[in-house]
Structures are given as structure tokens and as C-alpha cells.
Amino acid sequence: MSVDKATVRRIAHLARIGVEEEELEGLSGELSSILNWIEQLHEVDTENVPPLASVNHATLLPREDVVNDGGDPDAVLANAPERHDDFFAVPKVVE
Amino acid sequence: MSAGELAGLGIAEARRRLAAREISSAELTADCLAAVEAADALNAFILKTPETATEMAAAADARLARGDGGLLEGIPLAIKDLFCTNGIATTTASRILDGFTPPYESTVTEKLFAEGAVMVGKTNMDEFAMGSSSETSAWGPVINPWRATGDNSQRSPGGSSGGSASAVAAGLALGATGTDTGGSIRQPASLTGIVGCKPTYGRCSRWGVVAFSSSLDHPGPMARSVEDTALLLQAMSGHDPKDSTSADVPVPDFAAAIPGDLKGLKIGIPREYRVDGMPDAVETLWSTGADWLRAAGAEVVDISLPHTKYALPTYYIVAPAEASSNLARYDGVRYGLRVAQADVNDMYAATRRAGFGAEVRRRVLIGTYVLSAGYYDAYYLKAQQVRRLILRDFEEAFERVDAILTPTAPEAAFAIGAKSDDPIAMYLNDVFTVPGDLSGVPGISVPAGLSAEGLPLGLQVMARAFDEETMFRVAGRIEDAAGFDAKPAAWWRGES
């Protein structure tokens, strides 16, 4: 599987990672070689094998539906790059 | 008493001397802090915390004086810098968390501190734990205290927990925390001549550990002996309602499981772990290890884990896919770096471009690709199916055997920069450790010998899920038989 420059540009957009035009060629080569190496998985017969998302041994138990934390906007906002009052501030999204 | 003498003590021995009031935590901690100060050449720490350590040691001495010390009362530890520490900067070795100070404590560090442990600093690592050499850190590479015989070139300590490994190997702390997603505790332990344990998935809470790949991330301990590692694991383990994958199972006295022979135990040697190009020293050490276990009473049998060769490609789909999802939270809005732009999408893209290093960007792009429309079934679903087959390999093997013995890594410590330009060559260093992460079974690396160049080599013991006790007992017999007492020459202190 080869990943061309247009595909690198598209996935970089999906991942919201800025890439410079001159980086596309190099990334295209790196990603293609990694994906080509991964292709060997297609040798494996996985007919009727159920996917395994996690080996989690824990059983999920219901909890009391109560508030047990929160109510501390200053702690929540303490690391914000920019805040206004009790809100995270971002560049204007809606005109 | 000479400098570094206390810092070089084992945890079990330091506990005995602290309890007997022969030494104080203040003295022990001061000796570690002096060793840390003299070891800048190793670049093992992103943040040193001498003031915090001194306060914690004083509090520990007060509790010891009252006779109510915890399991690790007064023991100085190094903490990998992806465990969130309340009020102390946590970076995961990335610029994306610039300026971030956690307002909470990770469950693992909370448990260690509740048992009296003292933090000397936050250790350097691969950025977001993505790497096998501790070179992808925004703070520069960690250096292995070990050098090859007659060769002064700098070696990698492995990774991603390379700062923790170098700190423990160089005697800067008595133990450390690490995390293991593809081998990031066991491989650096092997490359630095220390013990490192990845417990069963769910044994140690992931709450407050910066997430890389949630179904694969395992917090665990690193120390200079099997017993010390068992003591640390005991303090770190236990059910945590704040991590929905944390297992609600009893925590045994792991150290108590170490003594004893191996009569009645069957140890498997998986034939698929004999890989091309493995140095003779690794191959020889592995068969010597099997002889040691036979001499301790175990029956050693050949087994097959047929899907071993597919573990790495499976990992390099699952881990980037989960990482691309987990790292979506770094958007420049709530914490960490923000690169200001007039448009919000431009702000996300510029922030993530500036904040993430090259390997992290590469993995997020791979993960985004394999999860994207049209490729999900061919890559992500396929990888999840092969992951099931890898788990079945272990389940079937553990019907026949009680533990599995393998080398930890296919080679000894490599030179800094040797694999930086070839991602796949770097990934191959985790060939023997990745299957344990995909299947969740516990594994431990024990230093067992030296390579032809005089560099440490580890052997790995894996056991059934939640049977760390058998793992520790087998590891203990390897430790006894190997008698590994080699130490790196302290060149970083100007000694040769």
C-alpha cells in the first residue's frame, strides 16, 4: 500500500496536524514503508475470528448516580492557555 | 560512609536499616539527591524535585520515629514523567504539555506516596512513551550508564522508560516507576542491567497516567533486585474505581512468593522466539537460563506461540490507532501549548505541529489512516482479530506450562542514533515484549549476563494473567543462578 502526497495531506487534515508542502514527500515514503511492513498481517487467516479490542479482566459495576467531584472551576481552568471568566477561550468560531 | 553508598542500597535492605533507625530517610534521600546532581550527563531527569524529596523524607522520618511507617517509608524513587503529580509539572517528554501542572495525583504515585515513598524527580523518556530508545524526548536523549568494553561511545538505555532505567542502574534512586505499552519497562531494564516488571493488564491503575494506547498501557516497577521489584509492585497494585479497566482482585504479598524451588513447575521455551540475526550471547544465555530453571527443579519443555511474528505489525496498528484517538485531546484549548491563530482549525493544526515531535506525528498519522473510512476493516479490524489469535496462543500454552522463558530483547544496548533513521529497525527491538502487552500477561526482565561487548542482557519470564507470584518465583531462581553483580563504571561522575 502506498500513501501518496494527497492522502498524507488528507489524513494530516483529519488529525489536525499542520504539515508543510515540502514534508509531504518524506512522510509519504515513511508511512508507505510502515504500512507495507504491516501488510504481512494479510497472510493470517482470520475467518470467523472475533476481534479483540482489549484483554480487560474487570467487570463494570453500576455506581450510585451521585455527583462526587467537581464544582471547582478554578482548578479546571488553572492550566487553560486562555480563559474568560469561568470559560475556556478560543478564537471566534461563529461569525 | 562514601557518597552514593546509601543510594546504592536495595529497597529491602534500606527498609531494614530505616526500621532499625540505623539510617534516616533524610540521609538516604540526601545521598540520592547528590547522586542525581552528579549525573546530569545521563539526562535521566526532566525535572529534579530536591525540595519535595527533602520534605517527604522528613515526613517519613517522623512516621518511622512514631513506628507507623508504610511499606516503602522513606525510600527514594524516580517517577516516569507521564505519571501526573499534583502540583508538579508533568510533560510526558512533549512540548505539547508546556506549562501543564496537574491538579491531581495519579493513582499509582498516590499509592506509593501513601506507603511513604519519596520522589527524587520526574524521569526522561520517549515522547508520549513512543519509542524504544528514549531518544524522541523533547528534552534530548537519555544516556545509558553502561558502555561497551574499550568503547567510550554513548549507548541508549532503551525505552521508553529509559530515564527511570538509567536512574536505577546508576544508583540515583532505589527504584522507579515505568510504563510498558510494547516493552517500555522490560526492554530498558534488560539494556541497563536492572529488573523491570510489566504486571497483568488491570493490576495497576492507569488513572492519572498520560494515555498513549489505553488497551496496552501497563504501569509497573523497576528496581535492582527481584525482591525490590516485588515490593514496589505490591505498593502500586490494587483496584481503582477511577479506572474502569482496573481489576478488583486481591493483591498478594508478591515478595513472599519469591523463595522456594520450582519443583512441579513446567517452563515453556517458545520456538518462534529464535529470530534471525540474534547474537550468540543472547541465544546462549537463553539456553543457560533454561538449565538454571531445570537445576531449580522445573521441567522445561518446548512450546509454540505460532502468531509471534505477527505481534509487531498488529501492535503498529492497534497502538497508533488508540494514540490518534487519545492524543486528540491536545488541542491547545484546555491545557498545555497553544499556538495562536485567528481561525480555530488553524490553531489546532499549528499547535499540534509545534507541540508533537516527529515520531508522535508519524504515529498519529498512521493511526488516523488505519481508522479512516475505507481502511478500518483492512487494518484495524484485522489487527484486532490477529490480537485474538495471539491471546489464544498464550491461553493454549498456559494450559501446558506455568511460565515461559525468553530473552527480553534481541540485542544489548545499541549506540545513540543507531536506529533513529529506520523506524522499523527500532520497532523490532520490542519483538519479545510486544506479545505480552497484546495479551496482557505479566512479564519480568531479570539481568542474567553480559554480551560479548560487556553490556547487560536480560531474560524474560512470563506467566498466566494475575499469576505474578509464579513469575516472581521463577525470576528469583534466575537471579540466584545468574548472580549478576556487574556495575557500570561511574564515568558520568568523572570516574573511569
The pLDDT tens digits for A74-83 are 999 999 999 9
**Helices and strands (DSSP H and E) totals, chain B:** 15, 11
pLDDT of residue B158 exceeding 80 = yes
pLDDT band at B99 (very low <50, low <70, confident <90, very high): very high
Q: Check whether the bond before B160 is cis (ω within 30° of 0).
A: yes
- What are the distances in angstroms from CA B9 to CA A2, B13, B15, B489? 54, 6, 10, 17
Please identify among residues 1-60 of chain A the ones whose CB lies closer than 8 Å to any CB of chain B.
3, 7-8, 11-19, 27, 30-31, 33-35, 37-42, 44, 46, 49-60
Task: Tell me if residue B160 is catalytic.
Answer: yes
Among the listed ranges B183-197, B202-216, B329-343, B482-496, which one has the minimum average pLDDT value? Answer: B482-496
B238: left (phi over 0), alpha (psi -120 to 50) or beta: left
For B11-260+441-456+486-491, CATH number out of 3.40.190.10, 3.40.50.1370, 1.10.3720.10, 3.90.1300.10 equals: 3.90.1300.10
Q: Are B176 and B77 in contact (CB under 8 A)?
A: yes
Residues of A in contact with B379 (CB under 8 A): 38
Among the listed ranges A53-57, B247-251, B315-319, B327-331, which one has the minimum average pLDDT value? Answer: A53-57
pLDDT of residue A13 exceeding 90 = yes
Residues of B in contact with A81 (CB under 8 A): 99, 332-333, 335-338
pLDDT in tens, B349-372: 999 999 999 999 999 999 999 999
B17 touches chain A (CB under 8 A): no
Distance from the A48 Cα atom to the nearest Cα atom in chain B, whole angstroms: 9
Residue B378 DSSP label: I
Q: Which of B334, B337, B387 sits opposite A80 (nearest CB)?
A: B334
CB contact under 8 A, A11 and B372: yes
Distance from the B345 Cα atom to the nearest Cα atom in chain A, whole angstroms: 7
Could you tell me which residues are beta bridge partners of residue B220? Answer: B178
Distance from the A32 Cα atom to the nearest Cα atom in chain B, whole angstroms: 10
Residues of B in contact with A38 (CB under 8 A): 313, 316-317, 379
Residue B250 DSSP label: -
Percent of chain A with pLDDT over 70: 99
Distance from the A50 Cα atom to the nearest Cα atom in chain B, whole angstroms: 6
**Interface mutation target, options A5, A14, A16, chain B, most CBs of B under 10 Å:** A16
- Looking at B25, B132, B133, B160, which residue is catalytic? B160
pLDDT band at B496 (very low <50, low <70, confident <90, very high): very low
pLDDT the model gives residue B237: 98
B387: its cell numbers: 490480537
pLDDT in tens, B189-230: 999 999 999 999 999 999 999 999 999 999 999 999 999 999
CB contact under 8 A, B365 and A51: no
CB contact under 8 A, B386 and A7: no
Positive or negative: CA dihedral A72, A73, A76, A77: negative
Q: Which residues make up the CATH 3.90.1300.10 domain(s) of chain B?
A: 11-260+441-456+486-491
CB contact under 8 A, A79 and B336: yes
CB contact under 8 A, B381 and A38: no
Residues of A in contact with B103 (CB under 8 A): 75, 78-79
pLDDT band at B300 (very low <50, low <70, confident <90, very high): very high
Residue of B nearest to A74 (CA): B103
Q: Which of B340, B383, B388 sits opposite A41 (nearest CB)?
A: B383
Percent of chain B with pLDDT over 90: 95
CB contact under 8 A, A18 and B353: yes
C-alpha angle B180/B184/B187, rounded to 5°? 125
Q: Which of A3, A17, A80 sits opposite B349 (nearest CB)?
A: A17
What is the C-alpha to C-alpha distance for residues B370 and B382, in angstroms, rounded to an integer? 10
**Interface mutation target, options A7, A8, A14, A17, chain B, most CBs of B under 10 Å:** A17
A52: its cell numbers: 479483540
pLDDT in tens, B245-289: 999 999 999 999 999 999 999 999 999 999 888 899 999 999 999
Task: Tell me if residue B80 is catalytic.
Answer: yes
Please identify among residues 53-82 of chain A the ones whose CB lies closer than 8 Å to any CB of chain B.
53-60, 63, 75, 78-82
pLDDT the model gives residue A1: 66
What is the C-alpha to C-alpha distance for residues A74 and A51, in angstroms, rounded to an integer? 43
CB contact under 8 A, A41 and B368: no
